[in-house]
């Protein structure tokens, strides 16, 4: 299984970015797909996750600012990040899991995409 992220980069505080992630190499669909992030010196944390049925889970720090969505037919997940803050700076990892839910630790991980928010 390969998860390939795109859309990271540098943005000013208050700006927006959209991350995309396409899953390939699996004969099966994934129940949950999502995004985690890891900032320097910090633990990896859930940002947002979504099931194939549309149930979502967001970290409190991004609620109201980030929106997760997915295209089940394309095995693709998106993360629209609005009102970005410097504390959102991190490497963002796309994740997928065949059976787990939006709170489960995922089995599959992408290589990561850097998001840097300047003040």
Q: How far apart are CA 63 and CA 70, in angstroms?
A: 17
pLDDT above 90 for 25: no
Residues in the chain: 119
Average pLDDT (15-31) is: 93
Q: What is the pLDDT of residues 33-50, one digit of tens each?
A: 999 999 999 999 999 999
Q: Which pLDDT belongs to residue 9?
A: 97
Assign 23 to helix, strand or coil.
strand
Q: What is the average pLDDT value for the chain, to the nearest integer?
A: 96
Assign 73 to helix, strand or coil.
helix
Q: Considering only CA atoms, give the Rg of the chain.
A: 13
Q: At 87, give phi and psi (nearest 5°).
A: -70, -5
């Amino acid at each position: 299984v390969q998860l390939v992220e795109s859309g990271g980069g540098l943005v000013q505080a208050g700006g927006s970015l959209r991350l995309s992630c396409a899953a390939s190499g699996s004969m099966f669909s994934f129940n949950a797909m999502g995004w985690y992030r890891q900032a320097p010196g910090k633990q990896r944390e859930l940002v947002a996750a979504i099931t194939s049925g549309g149930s979502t889970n967001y970290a409190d720090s991004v609620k109201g600012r980030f929106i997760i969505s997915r295209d089940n037919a394309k095995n693709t997940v998106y993360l629209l990040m609005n009102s970005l803050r410097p504390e959102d700076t991190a490497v963002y990892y796309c994740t997928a899991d065949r059976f787990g839910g939006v709170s489960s630790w995922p089995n599959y991980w992408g290589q990561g995409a850097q998001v840097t928010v300047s003040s």
